Structure 1
Amino acid sequence: MSKKIEFSYVRENIELEGYKVLSTDEYYYNNKSKFDVICTKGHECKTSWNRWQSGYRCKICTRRRISDSQKMDFNKIKESFESERYQLLTTEYINNKQKLESICPEGHEYSLSWTQWNTSGNRCPVCYHKRLGEEQKLSYEYVKDCFEKRGYTLLSKEYNGALENLFYICPKGHIGKIRWHNFQHGYGCNSCPKVRSNISKAENEIFDFIKEYFPDAEHSNRLLIPPYEIDIVIPSLFIGIEYCGILWHSELFGGKGRNYHLNKLNLCKSKGYTLITIFEDEWLHKKEIVKSRLKSILNISGSDIVYARNCEIREIKANIANEFLNNNHLQGSGSSNIRIGAFYNDNLVSTMTFCRPNISHGGNPSDDSYELNRFCSLINTQVVGIASRLLKYFINQYNPKLIFSYADKRWSTGNLYYKLGFKHIHDSQPNYWYVVSDRRVHRFNFRKSQLKKMDNYNLLLSEWEIMKNNDHDRIWDCGNIKFVLDEENI
């Protein structure tokens, strides 16, 4: 139960923003009690201390701000539709709730609002249901394995699509049937008690892990950035956590477009919250690394502490660096030319790797610039000051003119780079990964030269069109933050 705040304190904080409180304390019983206020524009409305703390203000002003902020130039909207080969039939844009008539690339005519298109990532419902039932057919072995991971025995002998019923025996011995569409989304046996049945097992595991350290953690919060839901919110730290199943957050099957995850991150940021976005394959295959990262971000005590001044710094071989990165870094090993390790009592506790800039990142391999492409420490270990020591070693040995690096916005705001003297250059647009079974695979592995090996290859089609024709989906991240350490600051 939340602690009752004195009404005098409530009044003082509300009036700091120019609002006037009309009600007296006789109407204030607890933090949920509603009372009357007048906003700075003279609109009278009701609020409670809980709603005010969650960011709710005058409804009339909020609607007007949303309307003004979301008004778009019609040509930009038309360009967005046409970039995905949709034909926009509507000739005038009024506001973000207006229904826009359009025709999809397959010729289906339908309507949706700009918010549904741009923020929610909605597309043609006819094509969506077609892909749902036909294109997204996973292998029977994969589906069976998913049932068994939750303790179910799959009785059905074949899998023919997400909407077909599958027969099972649940861990309690009940025989029943369920669609894969529902099972993958966290639902289970109809005869068993419904405990968080609409939330995935992995999401529950993450919530239980967080709740152990933060009793104020909230599950399925819809107050922070309505109407969107944030899976886990820690009010005391102003941090939110999203768990994203890669199938349900993909573009075709899940209907989550390019900006879906980035928009939620930015909406949380506007409320003063940092959002961490965890993808399903990270939790499934690198659970201990994820837990270690969360402990570090949330300042959870219990990790071993090592001080950089007590470490020996030296270069290490590729196989040693790769093994360490695969066991301690979410992205695993990467291509690198220079690998520097920190040893404590002759045990590798941290590594930082560098490579020459590649052309895809806009670099020139011939100049004296380098990319810092990996840095991590041993999981559940805090190596105080080690990033600075490793970077200084590299600078002293190789005399670079410029060092650049990228922070993944799903996991980082780039604080470490600022501490090391890097400058923020720009934020990149969201990037996509292809969904292969229960993993994300970087698009670099599906260049046109590689796609020639696929069955439905057509030289005239784009990479994405070829991948769709071969029953592949993709998922978008939140983009990266680029940082640079130039010659003046090295």
Structure 2
Amino acid sequence: MGLNSFWQEDFFLTVQNFNHQIRTAQVEPYYIIECNKNVLIHLVPLDNGFYPEELIALQDKYQKENIQLIHLWEDVWVAKRTQVLNRIHSFLSLNKSFHGRKAKIVALDQKQTSSFLTENHLQGYVKAKYSFGLIANNEIIGLASFSETRPMKSKGENYQSAELVRFASKGGLTIVGGLSKLIKHFTKQIKLNDVMTYADRDWSLGKGYDKLGFTLSQITEPAFLYVNRETLIRYFPHRLPKNTLLAFEAQNDLNLDDFLALNGFVKLFNTGNLKYHLLL
């Protein structure tokens, strides 16, 4: 797959095609695109001198002005172009609306879940215990996946929690009340005390969860990860390819970061997550 050195210009021209009001707000040291008065997109190159605290401070600065700043990394744009454009389409209120009450809910298998999330979620598919789809005109238009229940003895002897692992709607569509409907369906079948989930701070202020009655319980620290420059696949340290780790352990000259850099990986970071709980 590889990278394109003109990716920032490519992004700007692509998005400008469906919204001529978009403009470059700042170039140095941050390449920032103004989508509208409430949404800015910071285009982050893989090779940069930024620190997590710096980009979090930039987010906080704009949030105080009621402006959302999104950090869009180079590899995400190149590898997930369609999904990125779908998210921006939504931010610009260009989606078509569909009322969730008109859709029916069905349980989905792993193949259906993987296919839908790969196509429609920025972070793609991840394995989960339960998956439910919203169906309209014999088509999946929305999906939520949930973890198995987990006892939380620190909160009580019989306290049970589950995680909302993924939620996605079909590209170009906003399903009004869709996530709420899926959560209610899940919690009617499984006895729980709460549902927890995470919002990616690179992309979200968590406002959608606030509207659904979730409570912010924690802001997690930024995490470091690695991306393969050729495939653009992202890996957290504990999920690096086995053959790469074996090759690293077989040598004694380089530390992990230097070894990975020599073998086509670049180290990057995110700005952490917002952790939410919905009490039932």
**TM-score category, normalised to shorter length:** 0.7 to 0.9
Aligned AA (1:260): E
Instruction: Please name the residue that 2:140 is paired with.
Output: 348
Partner of 2:78: 284
Match of 1:10 in 2: none
Q: What is the alpha-carbon distance in structure 1 between the residues aligned to residue 166 and residue 24 of structure 2?
A: 33
Gap change, CA 1:456 and 1:325, over 3 Å in 2: same
Equivalent position of 1:157 in the other structure? none
Q: Higher RCO, 1 or 2 (CA under 8 Å, sep at least 6)?
A: 2
Could you list the runs of 5+ residues in structure 2 that have no partner in the other structure?
none
Question: Aligned equivalents of 1:230 and 1:265: distance in 2?
Answer: 14
CA distance in 2, matches of 1:278, 1:435: 14
| Contact 2:196 2:276 survives alignment (8 Å) | yes
Matches of 2:226 and 2:149, distance apart in 1: 24
Would you say the 8 A contact 1:220–1:229 is kept in 2?
Answer: no
Question: Alignment partner for residue 339 of structure 1, among 125, 131, 150?
Answer: 131
Change (3 A) 1:343 1:436: same
Matched residue, 1:229: 30
Matched, 1:483 2:276: yes
What is the rounded CA distance, in whole Å, between the counterparts of 2:208 and 2:173 in structure 1? 17
Change in CA separation of 1:265 and 1:457 when aligned onto 2, cut-off 3 Å: farther
Report deviation, 1:377: 0.6
User: What is the identity, as a one-letter code, of the residue corresponding to 2:37?
Assistant: L
Q: Which amino acid aligns with 1:257?
A: Y
Aligned-partner Cα distance in 1 for 2:43–2:130:
34
Aligned partner of 1:272 in structure 2 is: 66
Gaps of 5+ in 1: 1-141, 147-183, 187-199, 249-253
Deviation at 1:287, TM superposition (A): 1.2
Alpha-carbon contact 1:456-1:470 (below 8 Å) kept: no
Residues 262 and 430 in structure 1, CA contact (< 8 A), matched pair in contact too: no
Identity of aligned residues (%): 21
The SS at the match of 1:295 is: helix
**Cα displacement (A) at 1:245:** 2.5
Superposed displacement of residue 358, structure 1: 8.2
The one-letter code of the counterpart of 1:401 is N
Match of 2:51 in 1: 257
TM-score by length of 1: 0.50
Local SS of the residue matching 1:416 = helix
Kept after mapping to 1: 8 A contact 2:150/2:160? no
Counterpart of 2:255? 465
Deviations 1:190-228 (A, max 9, x none): xxxxxxxxxx2x222322244345444331526xxxx74
Check whether the contact 1:458–1:466 (CA below 8 A) recurs between aligned residues: no
Give 2:269's aligned amino acid. Answer: W
Specify the code of the residue in structure 1 equivalent to 2:161: S
Using the TM superposition, give the Cα deviation of residue 467 of structure 1 relative to its aligned residue in structure 2, in angstroms.
3.5
Kept in 2, the 8 Å contact 1:230–1:240? The answer is no
In the alignment, is the contact (CA less than 8 A) between 1:454 and 1:470 conserved in 2? no
Which of 166, 178, 181 is the equivalent residue of 1:386? 178
- Residues 1:441 and 2:231 are matched in the alignment: no
Give CA-to-partner distance per residue, 1:118-175, whole Å, 9 cap, x none: xxxxxxxxxxxxxxxxxxxxxxxx8xx65xxxxxxxxxxxxxxxxxxxxxxxxxxxxx
CA separation of 1:357/1:280 partners in 2, compared to 1, >3 Å: closer, same or farther? Answer: farther
Q: TM (normalized to structure 2)?
A: 0.85
SS state of the match for residue 259, structure 1? helix
* Alignment partner, residue 240 of structure 1: 40
Larger Rg: 1
Q: d(CA) in 1 for partners of 2:149 and 2:190?
A: 15
Given the alignment of the two structures, is residue 206 of structure 1 paired with residue 11 of structure 2, yes or no? yes
Say if 1:261 and 1:477, in contact at 8 Å, map to a contact too.
Answer: no
Q: Deviations over 1:276-303 (max 9, x none)?
A: 1112222212211111110111212xx3
C-alpha RMSD over aligned residues: 3.1
> 2:146, 2:166 within 8 Å by CA — same for their partners in 1?
yes
- The alpha carbon displacement at 1:478 in A equals 1.1
How many positions carry a matched residue from both structures?
A: 272
Give distance in 1, aligned partners of 2:245 and 2:270: 26
Task: Quote the residue 2:117 is aligned against.
Answer: 325
Q: Secondary structure at the match of 2:225?
A: strand
- Please give the residue correspondences for 1:23-102 in structure 2 after superposition, counting only pairs within 5 Å: none
Alignment partner of 1:293 out of 87, 96, 119: 87
CA distances 1:87-120 after superposition (whole Å, capped 9, x unpaired):
xxxxxxxxxxxxxxxxxxxxxxxxxxxxxxxxxx
